[in-house]
């Protein structure tokens, strides 16, 4: 402040700071109010909602029940373009599709569609980048660019739903049954927008997509106050806690936020979530060779989890590490992985090993965006 006058208005170099407001950011009542503010009848907002959430229409030409003059205003006001696909990579004969999106300000995020015989899961991003700095995660290396808006999060799911509806994914027309917040970003660090997105995904059409909350998984490094808040929210989503180590010494290194919230505090918050919501919590554990995959750590993990009771409140999902370029970590030896599973199961902890879909298309969190940037 060496006596120099500051400009009166501090504007970013170009463009706007916030993503444009979109239908999916608003509840149905808010959309109706907004339509009236635009000088249009409130019911037009509902008609537009039927197109967007009910029929997944994105071409205004198809909205023939809207008078042409009002259609342009409605589309301008409610359906601004939020994201452009930059690249789509396919694996598993087209049943795994990863899309790199460019947001309005140039930020890059990824989403992945995974079709299984009995379900379709969309893995979505909640932030461009991530501030949690986990050293084994590609997204963590680039830091946080910005939070995504509710509509930017929802639009990833809607885009996947559209491609399924149009039969673009092998297996015939289908629907999105599951959404996991396991793409880029820490959902609990963008709490309001993420809860907004969960509401929009679960609100019955035409207010939202009408999905079951049980099909939605919010994955977190363990921001304890936010886990507590989610516990009170009354939305029965599945909580996944990225633990990766049962002891503070190692977890401080692998998940740096652990220096703020210890393993004990974090696991207790997750246990309380299970207790209150009756939803079984998932403990995510990326298996890293020689780092966190020792038999004694499996025993310790089992003991830590069982110290909150063995009433089936938790299961462990082991994730084979997807090595990021230049990182010193690699995936565990299959024999060590089997022993880890055996020891957890011996302690009564249901344990699964995540399939490694899409590894050849840089399936792991943030790798595609990191490559592009
Ligand atoms: N920030 C949230 C959600 C995004 S990551 C979270 O941390 O839970 C989703 C999961 O992928 C997390 O468990 C994360 O630790 C894990 N992950 C990140 N990079 C990985 C990698 N290279 N290999 C395997 N799992 C990884």
Q: Is the pLDDT of residue 6 over 50?
A: no
Secondary structure (3-state) at 172? coil
Q: Which atom of ligand 1 is nearest to the CA of 324?
A: 22
Q: Answer whether the bond into residue 250 is a cis peptide, omega within 30°.
A: no
Q: Is the pLDDT of residue 221 over 50?
A: yes
Q: What is the pLDDT of residue 7?
A: 38
In a domain, 363, yes or no: no
Q: What is the pLDDT of residue 367?
A: 57
Determine the distance separating the centroid of ligand 1 and the alpha carbon of 322, expressed in angstroms: 10
Q: Are 204 and 303 found together in one domain?
A: yes
Q: Is the pLDDT of residue 3 over 50?
A: no
Determine the distance separating the centroid of ligand 1 and the alpha carbon of 137, expressed in angstroms: 6
CA–CA separation, 57 and 168 (whole Å): 15
Is there an atom of ligand 1 within 6 Å of 284 CB? Answer: yes
Q: Are 135 and 63 found together in one domain?
A: no
Secondary structure (3-state) at 286? strand
Whether the CB-CB separation of 73 and 40 falls below 8 Å is answered with: yes
Q: What is the pLDDT of residue 158?
A: 98
How many residues comprise the chain?
A: 373
Confidence of residue 271 (pLDDT cuts 50, 70, 90): very high
Whether the CB-CB separation of 23 and 48 falls below 8 Å is answered with: yes
In a domain, 158, yes or no: no
pLDDT digits (tens, 9 = 90+) for 305-352: 999 998 899 999 999 999 887 788 899 999 999 999 999 999 999 999
Q: How many CB atoms lie within 10 A of CB 243?
A: 26
Query: DSSP label at 327?
Result: -
In a domain, 250, yes or no: yes
CA–CA separation, 73 and 17 (whole Å): 23
In a domain, 3, yes or no: no
Q: Can you say how many angstroms the Cα of residue 243 is from the centroid of all Cα atoms in its chain?
A: 17
Taking alpha carbons only, the member of 243, 330, 323, 250 closest to residue 285 is 243
Is there an atom of ligand 1 within 6 Å of 321 CB? Answer: yes
Q: Are 181 and 128 found together in one domain?
A: yes
Q: Whose CA is nearest to atom 4 of ligand 1?
A: 182
Q: Are 73 and 136 found together in one domain?
A: no
Q: Is the pLDDT of residue 236 over 90?
A: yes
CA–CA separation, 365 and 165 (whole Å): 26
110 included as an active-site residue: yes
Q: Of the listed 123, 265, 365, 372, which one is catalytic?
A: 365
Q: What is the pLDDT of residue 8?
A: 40
Taking alpha carbons only, the member of 181, 286, 278, 279 closest to residue 223 is 181
Q: Are 65 and 184 found together in one domain?
A: no
Q: Are 283 and 349 found together in one domain?
A: yes
In a domain, 240, yes or no: yes
Q: Are 290 and 184 found together in one domain?
A: yes
Q: Is the pLDDT of residue 172 over 90?
A: yes
Is there an atom of ligand 1 within 6 Å of 219 CB? Answer: yes
Secondary structure (3-state) at 242? strand
**Site of tokens 């002891």:** 247
Q: Are 39 and 129 found together in one domain?
A: no
Residues 6+ apart with CB under 8 A from 323: 329, 330, 331
Residue 63 belongs to domain with CATH number: 1.10.150
Q: Which atom of ligand 1 is nearest to the CA of 185?
A: 1
Determine the distance separating the centroid of ligand 1 and the alpha carbon of 247, expressed in angstroms: 18
Confidence of residue 262 (pLDDT cuts 50, 70, 90): very high
Is there an atom of ligand 1 within 6 Å of 182 CB? Answer: yes
Query: DSSP label at 361?
Result: G
- Calculate mean pLDDT across residues 7-27: 71
Mutation test residue for ligand 1: of 141, 144, 182, the one with most atoms within 8 Å of CB: 182
Q: Are 45 and 136 found together in one domain?
A: no
Q: Is the pLDDT of residue 191 over 60?
A: yes
pLDDT digits (tens, 9 = 90+) for 287-305: 999 999 999 999 999 999 9
Confidence of residue 71 (pLDDT cuts 50, 70, 90): very high
Mean pLDDT of the chain: 92
108 burial level (CB within 10 Å; 0-12, 13-18, 19+): buried
Q: What pTM value is reported for the model?
A: 0.93
Taking alpha carbons only, the member of 122, 134, 92 closest to residue 220 is 134
Q: Are 55 and 138 found together in one domain?
A: no
Residues 6+ apart with CB under 8 A from 121: 113, 114, 176, 177, 178, 179, 180
Structural domain containing residue 48? 24-78
Q: How many CB atoms lie within 10 A of CB 76?
A: 12
> DSSP states of 144-196 as a string?
EEEEPPHHHHHHHHHHHHHHHHTT-SSSSS----EEEE-SSS-GGGGHHHHHH
Q: What total of structural domains would you count in the chain?
A: 2
Q: Of the listed 110, 152, 155, 337, which one is catalytic?
A: 110
Is there an atom of ligand 1 within 6 Å of 242 CB? Answer: yes
């Amino acid at each position: 402040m060496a006596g120099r006058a500051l400009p009166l208005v501090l504007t970013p170099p170009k463009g706007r700071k916030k993503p444009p407001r979109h239908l999916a950011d608003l509840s149905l009542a808010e959309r109706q109010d907004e339509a009236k503010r635009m000088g249009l009848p409130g019911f037009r907002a509902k008609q537009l909602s039927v197109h967007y959430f009910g029929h997944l229409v994105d071409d205004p030409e198809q909205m023939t029940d809207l008078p042409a003059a009002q259609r342009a205003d409605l589309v301008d006001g409610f359906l601004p373009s939020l994201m452009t696909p930059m690249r789509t990579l396919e694996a598993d004969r087209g049943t795994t599709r990863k899309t790199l999106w460019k947001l309005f300000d140039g930020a890059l995020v990824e989403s992945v569609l995974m079709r299984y015989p009995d379900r379709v899961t969309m893995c979505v991003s909640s932030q461009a980048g991530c501030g949690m700095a986990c050293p084994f995660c590609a997204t963590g290396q680039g830091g946080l660019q910005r939070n995504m808006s509710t509509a930017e999060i929802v639009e990833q799911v809607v885009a996947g739903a559209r491609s399924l509806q149009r039969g673009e994914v092998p297996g015939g027309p289908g629907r999105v049954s599951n959404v996991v917040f396991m793409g880029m970003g820490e959902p609990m660090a963008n709490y309001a927008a993420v809860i907004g997105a969960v509401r929009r995904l679960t609100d019955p059409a035409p207010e939202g997509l009408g999905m079951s909350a049980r099909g939605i998984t919010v994955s977190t490094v363990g921001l304890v106050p936010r886990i507590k808040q989610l516990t009170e929210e009354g939305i029965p989503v599945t909580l996944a806690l990225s633990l990766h180590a049962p002891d503070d010494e190692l977890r401080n290194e692998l998940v740096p936020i652990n220096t703020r919230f210890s393993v004990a505090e974090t696991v207790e918050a997750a246990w309380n979530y299970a207790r209150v919501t009756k939803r079984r919590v998932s403990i995510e554990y990326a298996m890293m060779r020689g780092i966190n995959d020792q038999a004694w750590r499996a025993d310790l993990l089992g003991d830590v989890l069982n110290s909150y009771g063995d009433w089936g409140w938790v299961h462990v999902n082991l994730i084979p590490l997807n090595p990021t370029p230049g990182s010193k970590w690699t995936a565990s030896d299959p024999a060590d992985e089997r022993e880890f599973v055996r020891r957890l199961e011996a302690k009564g902890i249901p344990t699964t090993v995540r399939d490694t879909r899409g590894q050849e298309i840089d399936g792991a969190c943030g790798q595609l965006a990191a490559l592009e940037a």
